[in-house]
A and B are shown apart, each in its own frame.
Chain A
């Protein structure tokens, strides 16, 4: 990390901290909280899709499962807020271990189909096991916790609560990806046979990545439960999985910021733009088509590429050598 990107990071954190002050309206603060929750979910899926090369269509499983367990334990089974959340976290991570064991028997399309099937099984259970899950009417009646006496019912307080988890998730995922283990995960994506020849257990590397992604999916699920105070099979359905995948791909799979931008894009289109444009689903489709046409690598890498291109052209016009610009671009390319 260079000093300059360190400065940018500080700027980003300060901007995020100031969001409630800048926005003022509780509605938009709540929206920002939702963006943070979906960003955590998208970042966790990005571990699989972007860094592991494992496209999953069942990521809603962790969001929904964690949300169901949290709400069930705290409202119906009489657990405390902290123990309920902790059990949800452990149970969901355990679920990811099991799912990883099953899904990683295949790769590519096979992996996609198995994750899809596993996700649908959970959805079916939530829909049909009415005595436990409330069926399609869902589970509700949950209160937000009061950690250290702070009332999370307040939009600003909840935003900062979610922001803490978001920052920890971001740091946790960034460190993971930059660690030697993260490199081996990317290695298993790009050159699985060479990795095997080097003595890596590719299956185990991918499984660890899968479980780690499930862990952050569970965090997103617990926050989802706190935010909505309600969960129904919609949290588990294919739509939610597909939307999360869209966030990752639209923002830029395999980049740290891509999923966050994707989450902003989808949440804002779904919740804000739909108030002004009745055919917002069509707009969402058009936006994705534009992304695929002009920035097939996703918004974040795409914008970076276009910016570099524009800067390079200006530099060339000013008489500077093109070598420098292409050189940096090459470095960027390698690091992503």
Chain B
């Protein structure tokens, strides 16, 4: 059984591994490790992230605070184990000064312990899991997007107060992101006197939402739909096909600009909330939207603007430390101290947990110039991840989950 030929083949074939020596770094460029997804189911979002980051670096002519920016991109394939290896590669082999990424929450969680150990600042351009900046805050982590529920707390209030809805049915993707969005909405909606009559959780890879749509209680005032990826397209199309006329409230990602271009009239009138909309009418945002349209031929959505803003955070922090990243503590402090007046989001500050405080827009899908877009109909200024709740009390409660039963404490 132990054949010499076999062992020889094994040895020869195993010698595929090459070695690359560690590179020296002193006053050279600032190395940015970028974790994105280029292969697998999440690759569409990964590509938009790459576009957002590239646009930002190009706008700065590849230089920030006088130092060249060197972006090293790694493909995590959307798998936690690969994400960890890729992070190790960027940190140990390429000696990056800062990381931007990864895309999915489970990827960010997979490298959480490692980041604490190696102490490399990381800016999240997409992963929204609540606890990353709440119950398990990582001192080396700062987020450039909202938490799952951050935009949907205000939407709960808007639905109850401005729209006057009393009864709502929730339908959401059955994974942590969907659970957290739904719970945040539920909490504030109930606090304002509303009632959640049912919650439906179709699995992520549901092809036909028919069996869920027919379960929706006919007496509700509206349906709150929280979907990620391409699921919003499928749901809204089928919702209209089943002749449903109840108004739809959406999460930020249900009618994200990244997928809105693939939707038809079924999306018209959907009201959603987000920390961003391509329709925000400020000169800064309109210039940004124009640049994205010119470079990539589409409107910026969740991933594009997330990566773009992660890069702006980096720029802001680098300017604070005058391009000196040798003192990691000081650099991290600067990242936690990011304060931007004018950005596509509007003004942005960071709270004590590494989470941005931003304006939240209530948006309505409308058709303008032959294309669908999220028109801003109301803005909630400077919204924290804790909404109006006391952070300590908020954190003492359990993290939002599928079985979350809170809300309605104050009426």
Contact of A178 among B1, B7, B113 (CB under 8 A): B1
- B382 an interface residue at 8 Å Cβ cutoff? no
Query: Are the C-beta atoms of B86 and A8 separated by less than 8 Å?
Result: no
Total interface residues on A, using CB and 8 Å? 69
Q: How far is the CA of A178 from the CA of B3 in the complex (A)?
A: 13
- A145 an interface residue at 8 Å Cβ cutoff? no
CB neighbors of A among B79-97 (8 A):
79-82, 84-86, 88-89, 92-93
Interface size class of B (residues with CB under 8 A): 35 or more
Q: How far is the CB of B279 from chain A (nearest CB, A)?
A: 31
Contact of A138 among B82, B110, B117, B402 (CB under 8 A): B110
Query: Are the C-beta atoms of A230 and B109 separated by less than 8 Å?
Result: yes
What string of 1s and 0s marks CB contacts (under 8 Å) between A267-280 and chain B? Answer: 01011101100111
Chain A residue with Cβ nearest B72: A275
Stretch from A189-197, A205-213, A301-309, A316-324 forming part of the interface with B: A301-309
Please indicate the chain A residues that have their CB under 8 angstroms from the CB of B163 in the complex. Answer: none
Q: How far is the CA of A161 from the CA of B175 in the complex (A)?
A: 36
- B396 an interface residue at 8 Å Cβ cutoff? no
Q: How far is the CB of B121 from chain A (nearest CB, A)?
A: 19
Stretch from A26-34, A84-92, A102-110 forming part of the interface with B: A26-34
Q: A230-B113, A274-B75 are in contact. Are A4 and B4 (CB under 8 A)?
A: yes
Please indicate the chain B residues that have their CB under 8 angstroms from the CB of A1 in the complex. Answer: 1-2
Please indicate the chain A residues that have their CB under 8 angstroms from the CB of B9 in the complex. Answer: 257, 261, 299-300, 303-304, 307
Q: How far is the CA of A91 from the CA of B279 in the complex (A)?
A: 55
Contact of A304 among B5, B81, B82 (CB under 8 A): B5
CB neighbors of A among B88-136 (8 A):
88-89, 92-93, 105-106, 109-110, 112-114, 117, 129
- A130 an interface residue at 8 Å Cβ cutoff? yes
- A83 an interface residue at 8 Å Cβ cutoff? no
Please indicate the chain B residues that have their CB under 8 angstroms from the CB of A275 in the complex. Answer: 74-75, 86, 89
Stretch from B17-25, B246-254, B343-351, B363-371 forming part of the interface with A: B17-25
Please indicate the chain B residues that have their CB under 8 angstroms from the CB of A178 in the complex. Answer: 1
Q: Is the interface of B mostly helix, strand, loop or mixed?
A: helix
Please indicate the chain B residues that have their CB under 8 angstroms from the CB of A281 in the complex. Answer: 39-40
- A25 an interface residue at 8 Å Cβ cutoff? yes
Please indicate the chain B residues that have their CB under 8 angstroms from the CB of A27 in the complex. Answer: 88-89, 92-93
CB neighbors of B among A1-47 (8 A):
1-2, 4-6, 8-9, 11-12, 15, 23-28, 30-32, 34
Q: How far is the CB of A239 from chain B (nearest CB, A)?
A: 8
Contact of A137 among B93, B176, B403 (CB under 8 A): B176
A–B Cβ pairs within 8 angstroms, 19 of them: A5-B2, A11-B7, A12-B10, A27-B92, A138-B80, A138-B106, A174-B1, A228-B80, A229-B114, A232-B110, A239-B79, A256-B2, A260-B14, A264-B13, A274-B74, A274-B75, A299-B13, A300-B13, A301-B6
B: residues with CB less than 8 A from A are 1-14, 16-22, 38-40, 74-75, 77, 79-82, 84-86, 88-89, 92-93, 105-106, 109-110, 112-114, 117, 129, 174-176, 179, 401-403
